[in-house]
Structure 1
Amino acid sequence: MRRRMRAVAIAVAATLLLAGCSSDPLADQYKEGSNKGYIAGDGSVTEIPEGERGESISFSGEIETGEEISSADFAGDVLVVNFWYAACAPCRAEAPDLQELSAEFDGKGAQFIGVNVYDQADTALSFNESYGITYPSILDVQDGAVKLAFTGTVPPKAVPTTIVLDKEGRVSARILGQLKDASILRTLISDAIAE
């Protein structure tokens, strides 16, 4: 009986020890209890080879100025979709790089659109003014329809998340978390344009 109890105790201790060795960065952020209001990605990049891409992603919604736009409005161009909201510190940090890349590729085969997952129009417009953002953002706070459109392919698990759609509207790449090096996104866009 004692041997069995000792064996069970050793097995439980080993299990707990091994469980403590594994780490899930997103779960760790949640458990830390910092109340920062978001789960930040790690900046990891996922690229999908052209032959392995799924169906095109279709979405639509109202932008901060009240107009309706859809993915069809960008047909034939590479589309960079950035999920964000104004109080998100990494979103604010990457905003100048996104605007710079948007201006750099304007009229050269790529367009940008934001998807605001939290704010109302006034907050989004104020953010645009503060950071000089000239591309539109769909306000996805009411029903999450745009976020849902991506869920089956590469869900935007963290905010910010930046997704590059190829000329056919299929996901070619995703950056999960803050864009830390604009040259990475520049390369992903250029590669998608060149296809």
Structure 2
Amino acid sequence: MNTRNPSLSTESEPGRRTFLIGAASAALLLTGCAAQDPLAAQAKAGDNKNYIAGDGSVSEYAPENRGEPVQLGGQLYDGTSINSADWSEKVVVLNFWYASCAPCRVEAPDLEALHQDFKDQDVLFYGVNVRDTTPTAAAFERNFGITYPSFDGADGSILFALTEHVPPQAVPTTLVLDKQTRVASRILGVAEKSTLKALISSTLDESAS
């Protein structure tokens, strides 16, 4: 069921819907190419910002417009090696974060709550920590009660594999992958709980239809 408010959405190109959360300006709507994202433009500016603020936008992609499955591999902080080839027939949520990122702290409890809501419905949650050491990441997870695992992504390999979808330093960013490991939707900035829940549910529903 579509739970989103149609007044917050606008059709851009075929098969893709982009909408803004709250009072974010419609001028920040994303286009169909990641290189044209406002966040990507900030990242390419070379001003060495530690944090590039999300614009509050959410993009959904119709199944026929999702392109190729993502291909990535990496190691979790507990030493487990994970490859996206293992995610077949699962919906996967990837959240890019680091401990000193203020918006990451805001969304952390909601991400854990959604993980609990969906963990018995073929939905996997993974964090991708883009800069922290193991002790720093572990302290964050303890403080916020995070029980799903995170990749140690400080070497940039996972960001590189997903550069089309996640502009460099655009943290937090959250991706929802469909059961063919294609990007079904993306949130730039804080993942508002009801919005992310709707995106996950929508991806599950299409898989069941």
Contact persistence 2:166–2:173 (CA under 8 A): no
After the TM superposition, which residues 8-157 of structure 1 pair with which residues of structure 2 at under 5 Å, given as runs?
26=39, 37-142=50-155, 144-152=156-164, 154-157=165-168
Give the structure with higher Rg (CA).
Answer: 1
Q: Distance in 2 between matches of 1:59 and 1:121?
A: 21
Q: Distance in 1 between matches of 2:58 and 2:127?
A: 18
SS, match of residue 127 in structure 1: helix
Q: Cα deviation per residue 1:116-175 (whole Å; 9 max; x = unaligned)?
A: 001111111111111110111111112x111111123x2245100000000000000000
Contact persistence 1:42–1:178 (CA under 8 A): no
Q: CA RMSD in A?
A: 2.5
Deviation at 1:109, TM superposition (A): 2.1
Q: Distance in 2 between matches of 1:156 and 1:98?
A: 21
Deviation at 1:68, TM superposition (A): 1.2
Q: Distance in 2 between matches of 1:111 and 1:135?
A: 8
> As a proportion of its length, which structure holds more helix?
1
Q: Distance in 2 between matches of 1:55 and 1:29?
A: 24
Q: Distance in 2 between matches of 1:74 and 1:125?
A: 24
State the match for 1:170 in structure 2.
182
Change (3 A) 1:160 1:172: same
Give the aligned residue type for 1:166. Answer: D
Structure 2: tracts of 5 or more residues without a match: 1-26, 29-36
SS, match of residue 101 in structure 1: helix
Q: Distance in 1 between matches of 2:150 and 2:78?
A: 9
Q: Distance in 1 between matches of 2:157 and 2:42?
A: 28
Deviation at 1:72, TM superposition (A): 2.5
Deviation at 1:25, TM superposition (A): 6.5
The alignment's TM-score, normalised by the length of structure 2, stands at 0.74
1:159 to 165, 168, 171: 171
Q: Distance in 1 between matches of 2:120 and 2:53?
A: 32
Change (3 A) 1:60 1:28: closer
Aligned length: 169
The alignment's TM-score, normalised by the length of structure 1, stands at 0.79
Contact persistence 2:42–2:52 (CA under 8 A): no
Q: Distance in 2 between matches of 1:65 and 1:126?
A: 14
Change (3 A) 1:78 1:29: closer
Q: Distance in 2 between matches of 1:28 and 1:49?
A: 27
**4+ residue segments displaced more than 6 Å:** 22-25, 27-31
Give the aligned residue type for 2:157. Answer: A
Give the aligned residue type for 1:97. Answer: D
Contact persistence 1:60–1:71 (CA under 8 A): yes
Q: Distance in 1 between matches of 2:177 and 2:44?
A: 29
State the match for 2:23 in structure 1.
none
State the match for 1:11 in structure 2.
none
